[in-house]
Amino acid sequence: MSFSRAFATALLLAAGSAVADLPPDKMGEIGTLPETWPPHWIIAHDVSYSHIRDGKSFVLDLDADSIGQQFKGMVNSSFAANFVQATTRPELYLAETFYSRGTRGERLDVLTIYDKRTLAPLGEVILEANQRAFIIPQRNLMKLTGDESLILVYNFSPAMSVSIVDAVGRKSLGTLPTPGCAGIFPTGTRGFSALCGDGSLYTANLDKSGKVASSSRSDVFFDVQDDPLMEQPAWIDGRAYFPSYQGNVVPVDFSGDKPVIGEPWSLLDDDTAGWRPGGLVPTAEDANGRMYVTMHPEGGDGTHKDPGLEVWVFDPVKQERLARLPLQVPGLSIALTRDKEQSLLIVTTVEMKLDVYDAASGELRRTLDNFGQLTPIIVFGAR
Amino acid sequence: MKWLDDMMEQGARGLARRSSRRSFMARLAVLIAGGAASVPLLPVARGSEHEPEIALDADPGDPTSCEYWRYCAVDGFLCACCGGTQSSCPPGTQMSPVTWIGTCRNPADDQDYIISYNDCCGKSACGACNCNRNEGDMPIYRPQLSNAYNWCLGTDSAFYNCSTSRVIGVARKS
């Protein structure tokens, strides 16, 4: 510091500052989140395609204008993790796989319970089967039972099975083989169903200890070769609406202990004959009972994972299309917020950004980008 | 392989189908310039753009090209671009004993061959020469026909590196 500057500073100090000094910041302050997350918060699960050991799930506020306000926190989600959130307690669940030497060594499948208020682990359960299925993340690979007492994780070794975890007692209850049947579709109070390779449903109702209390197998109800059902239905009031490759829908009522399979109907009409559902997470639902499906034109063999150019909105009870929402950028996955009045549609675009639309008007509200994402291919509205 | 490359590939192919080639490539360039999210697209373009070197022998074609005859049902990064060949794994990886099978016609002798698409496992994704189709792909309840799964099964590590395309034999009608 030069003499003249030091002199000037001394004069200023002597005269006294008109502005109060900044108080020292506290050491070690850590942010927290509310127990119930606002309806416009989302969890964006980034499988981190080319670096899947370092997958992440971002907690984001869709109403905020700047990244500092949008980004609420994150949890790690290693190796195509499975994610599910409870509604009756402030907990998140992530099933992950780790190797003791990163990409090699001993394998360890772990279900971690996170506190929504701190995003810190509350506990963990070792998934003893060590056979968690590695699949592009979707919503039906890990689920809570209807009473939220059990967590079910789909396994593939390539034998198919389900790991059963006591969500409250935080302990493993074993593994149930589901030969030839995949996915987890919660059924009744404490059961689940799985779609089988012959076009039927397997259903198991479990007791509190995770043992099978009863099980059943439905008749074959769809054609697995010519018009297979996508394994990703929209869920409304205990009913699942499965779209098919050819653009039909099969409703299945999972609210009781035994699934009730409804009559198929078509998403298409004479003007939209060539359109097909497609994408990575092609269906979603809102709190008003509407079903959303990503749709693309000129569909055919092999287009069932193509991005949607539009999202179609249906009343699945009346089997009526309510709206066609054109997307600004083609979308691979969709989700909706949980609120009824200002529901937002979130679209993972082919550019790997999140476009947020007003679900009622179809107006693009904002695009979320540069929040550290690589491939945020599945989004969950906060529940 | 499978699943790893699907997500970006589907976006790219869907756009390609509905756009002129020129506009699609322009869009691809924007994506590549746009940052990390575009990274998986690069090998897609490279794999499909490669001009096959047709050799007039019993096994014609360029194994680093997606057009190579054995790749009729392949889905993943081509081991021939990753330090291996069309039938061998890159150094330090392990070949998965569990595979899915395709039947491909060899243009040299016009015979159908059974091809075994063994994955190479134990390292993370190679990233070069992505070659991927969904024709005939089925949901996860038909796993033998589903490319949503990672097929590095029965190996020491489930990490997927690349895919081989091994000739098993001539497919003969019984």
pLDDT at A8: 55
Q: Is the pLDDT of residue B118 over 80?
A: yes
Q: Is the pLDDT of residue B20 over 70?
A: no
Q: Is the pLDDT of residue B18 over 70?
A: no
Answer yes or no: is A152 within a domain.
no
How far from each other are the two terminal CA atoms of chain A, in whole angstroms?
A: 58
Nearest CA in chain B to A107: B157
How far off is chain B from A152, nearest CA to CA, in Å?
Answer: 17
pLDDT at B170: 93
- Indicate which of A351, A355, A370, A379 best probes the interface with B, i.e. most B CBs within 10 Å of its own CB: A351
How far off is chain B from A104, nearest CA to CA, in Å?
Answer: 5
How far off is chain B from A49, nearest CA to CA, in Å?
Answer: 6
Question: Does residue B24 belong to the interface with chain A, where contact is any CB pair within 8 Å?
Answer: no
Answer yes or no: is A87 within a domain.
no
When pLDDT is cut at 50, 70 and 90, the band that residue B41 belongs to is very low
* Structure tokens, A15: 């005269």
CB distance B37–A304 less than 8 Å?
no
- Laid out side by side, the sheet with B101-106 consists of B101-106, B111-116, B166-170
DSSP string computed for A162-212: EEEEETTTTEEEEEEE-TTEEEEEEETTTEEEEEETTS-EEEEEE-TTS-E
57-96 in B: which are within 8 Å (CB) of A? Answer: none
pLDDT at B100: 78
Q: How far apart are CA B104 and CA B45, in angstroms?
A: 23
Answer yes or no: is A351 within a domain.
yes
Q: Is the pLDDT of residue B12 over 90?
A: no
If we measure between CA atoms, which residue out of A302, A322, A306 comes closest to residue A314? Answer: A322
How far off is chain B from A290, nearest CA to CA, in Å?
Answer: 24
Nearest CA in chain B to A131: B153
Does ipTM exceed 0.90?
A: yes
Q: How far apart are CA A122 and CA A118, in angstroms?
A: 9
> Domain limits at A358?
226-383
Tell me the chain B residues in contact with residue A158 when contact means C-beta distances shorter than 8 Å. 98, 143, 149, 153
Tell me the chain A residues in contact with residue B42 when contact means C-beta distances shorter than 8 Å. none
Model confidence pLDDT, tens digit, residues B46-104? 233 444 444 458 999 999 999 899 998 787 889 999 999 999 999 999 999 987 777 88
pLDDT at A274: 96
Answer yes or no: is A233 within a domain.
yes
Q: Is the pLDDT of residue B130 over 90?
A: no
Q: List, in order, residues 6 or more apart from A323 with CB less than 8 Å away.
A: A312, A313, A362
pLDDT at B27: 30
Q: List, in order, residues 6 or more apart from B65 with CB less than 8 Å away.
A: B47, B50, B51, B52
Helix or strand (DSSP H, E) at B23:
helix B21-34
pLDDT at A3: 53
CB-closest option in B4, B134, B139 to A231: B139
User: One digit per residue, pLDDT tens: chain A, 383 residues?
Assistant: 455 555 555 555 555 557 899 999 999 999 999 999 999 999 999 998 778 889 999 999 999 999 999 999 999 999 999 999 999 999 999 999 999 999 999 999 999 999 999 999 999 999 999 999 999 899 999 999 999 999 999 999 999 999 999 999 999 999 999 999 999 999 999 999 999 999 999 999 999 999 999 999 999 999 999 999 999 999 999 999 999 999 999 999 999 999 999 999 999 999 999 999 999 999 999 999 999 999 999 999 889 999 999 999 999 999 999 999 999 999 999 999 999 999 999 999 999 999 999 999 999 999 999 999 999 999 999 99
CATH class of B3-170: mainly beta
Tell me the chain B residues in contact with residue A302 when contact means C-beta distances shorter than 8 Å. 133-137
The total domain count for chain A is 1
Answer yes or no: is A11 within a domain.
no
pLDDT at A103: 94
CB distance B157–A103 less than 8 Å?
yes
Answer yes or no: is A380 within a domain.
yes
pLDDT at B4: 38
Model confidence pLDDT, tens digit, residues B133-150? 677 789 999 998 888 888
Instruction: Please report, for the domain that includes residue A382, its CATH number.
Output: 2.130.10.10
123-152 in B: which are within 8 Å (CB) of A? Answer: 123-125, 127, 133-143, 148-150, 152
Q: How far apart are CA A154 and CA A195, in angstroms?
A: 12
CB-closest option in B39, B122, B153 to A50: B39
How far off is chain B from A352, nearest CA to CA, in Å?
Answer: 6
CB-closest option in A103, A228, A305 to B10: A305
Domains of chain B, by residue range, sit at 3-170
Model confidence pLDDT, tens digit, residues B97-117? 987 777 889 999 999 999 888
Q: How far apart are CA A40 and CA B105, in angstroms?
A: 53
Contact of A302 with B13, CB cutoff 8 Å: no
Q: List, by residue number, the catalytic residues of B.
A: 100, 119
Q: How far apart are CA A179 and CA A217, in angstroms?
A: 12
CB distance B7–A157 less than 8 Å?
no
Q: Is the pLDDT of residue B9 over 60?
A: no
When pLDDT is cut at 50, 70 and 90, the band that residue B33 belongs to is very low
Q: List, in order, residues 6 or more apart from A18 with CB less than 8 Å away.
A: none
Answer yes or no: is A103 within a domain.
no
CB distance B136–A302 less than 8 Å?
yes
Nearest CA in chain A to B133: A302
Q: How far apart are CA A218 and CA A197, in angstroms?
A: 12
Q: How far apart are CA A94 and CA B174, in angstroms?
A: 49
pLDDT at A358: 98
Tell me the chain B residues in contact with residue A377 when contact means C-beta distances shorter than 8 Å. 7
If you ran DSSP here, which 8-state letter would residue A20 be given?
P
pLDDT at B26: 30
